[in-house]
Structure 1
Amino acid sequence: MSLRAVLLITLQREPGTGYDILQRFKAGLVHVWQASHQQLYRELDRMRGDGLLTCETLPQAERPDRKVYRLTEAGRKALDSWLTEPLAASPVRQPLFAKFFAWERWPEQARHEELAAFREQLKQRLTTYAAIEREWFSNPQALTPAQRAPWHTLRLGQRLTETWVGWVEEVMEEE
């Protein structure tokens, strides 16, 4: 998956500013994709240059101008093309895993602190997922399948994160 695809998905229903897009990420896509402000704005500019988006500049008094991005027909076709192409399973990339191959040199105190911090980050992620679920999916059975589809990805994120927490706790017991 690429940031470009996520931006196309985000803008498919309605136009938005960079700020709007970031808020949409936080509201629903944070569990499947993350991007910095800089990455987002660079990609929006590239997509505009590639003809996938238009950008309307709206002047504001005492604030920077608002740039509202909108999909073009080429952008819709690019999204449709991406949606029809099968995706390969992504590898799990976790830099922490590399340290396990130097276990004997990894100082015990540093290892314990890093694993404990990682576990806390994962628990915080679970808290975030729970907040998203409460806010957006409090009654998933009342939603249409299309409305419920993002809930399924959220549930997968929760399950994977719970598995990681359990794994970290197993490793910490062996230390």
Structure 2
Amino acid sequence: MSLKHAILILLESEPGSGYDLLKRFKDGLGYFWNAKHQQVYLELKKLSEAGWLEFEAQAQDARPDKKNYRMTPAGHSELLRWLGEPVQPSKINDALLVKLYAGAHTSQDNLREEMQRHVAVHRKTLASLLQIEKDFQALPDAQRNALRLPYLTLRRGILGEQSWLVWAAEVEQELNRD
């Protein structure tokens, strides 16, 4: 997947500015697809130049004009084309796993501290995802039904965090064995 397709997906449902898209990333896709501020704005420019997006400039006091982007028919066609293609399973690049793999070359205390930092992050993420799930469950049936596929991405995130924490407990047990 590429950032351009993530942006097209976000604009498919509702037009918005670069700022709006960054907020939508954070609130939704950001749990499984990361994009930095500069990347989003650069990609918006490229998508506009490719004819997949158009924008309307909105004047602002003491700031540059705000650009509200919307998808063009060509952008919609590209999104449909991409959605019809198979995607490759993701591979991970995880520095923590490399560090753990090389654990014989550092102290157990160093590894324990590193794991504790990561555990804290994963617990916080899991708590956040569980709150989103609770909010989702409280929605009326019609809204829950409309969001059933995005909900499955939430479930994947929850299960992934829970699994990571179970694995971390195994690592902690092994590190404490010596």
Instruction: Quote the Cα distance in structure 2 between the aligned partners of 1:137 and 1:18.
Output: 30
**Structure 1 residue 32 displacement after superposition:** 2.1
**Structure 1 residue 9 displacement after superposition:** 0.2
Q: Output the TM-score relative to the length of structure 1.
A: 0.92
**Corresponding residue for 1:125?**
125
* Matching residue's letter, 2:16: G
**Corresponding residue for 1:112?**
112
User: Matched residue of 1:87: which SS?
Assistant: coil
Unpaired segments ≥5 residues, structure 1: none
Instruction: Quote the Cα distance in structure 2 between the aligned partners of 1:137 and 1:41.
Output: 34
Q: Is the 8 A contact 1:57 1:66 kept in 2?
A: yes
Unpaired segments ≥5 residues, structure 2: none
Instruction: Quote the Cα distance in structure 2 between the aligned partners of 1:106 and 1:18.
Output: 44
Q: Which moved more, 1:62-71 or 1:12-21?
A: 62-71
User: Matched residue of 1:75: which SS?
Assistant: helix
Paired residues, number = 175
Equivalent residue runs for 1:34-113 within 5 Å:
34-113=34-113
Instruction: Quote the Cα distance in structure 1 between the aligned partners of 2:8 and 2:128.
Output: 24
Q: Is the 8 A contact 1:140 1:151 kept in 2?
A: no
Query: Structure 1 pair 27/134, CA: closer, same or farther in 2 (3 Å)?
Result: farther
Instruction: Quote the Cα distance in structure 1 between the aligned partners of 2:46 and 2:151.
Output: 30
Q: Which moved more, 1:11-20 or 1:26-35?
A: 26-35
**Corresponding residue for 1:14?**
14
Question: Which deviations, in whole Å up to 9, do the C-alpha atoms of 1:99-126 show, x marking residues without a partner?
Answer: 1231110222221111110111111111
User: Matched residue of 2:31: which SS?
Assistant: coil
**Structure 1 residue 25 displacement after superposition:** 1.6
Q: CA RMSD in A?
A: 1.7
**Corresponding residue for 1:28?**
28
Q: Which runs of 4+ in 1 moved over 3 A?
A: 134-137, 139-146
User: Matched residue of 1:117: which SS?
Assistant: helix
Q: Is the 8 A contact 1:55 1:70 kept in 2?
A: yes
Instruction: Quote the Cα distance in structure 2 between the aligned partners of 1:122 and 1:91.
Output: 19
Instruction: Quote the Cα distance in structure 1 between the aligned partners of 2:170 and 2:4.
Output: 38
**Structure 1 residue 23 displacement after superposition:** 1.6
* Matching residue's letter, 2:17: T
Q: Percent identity?
A: 38
Instruction: Quote the Cα distance in structure 1 between the aligned partners of 2:83 and 2:89.
Output: 15
Q: Which moved more, 1:140-149 or 1:165-174?
A: 140-149
Instruction: Quote the Cα distance in structure 1 between the aligned partners of 2:79 and 2:72.
Output: 11
Q: Output the TM-score relative to the length of structure 2.
A: 0.90
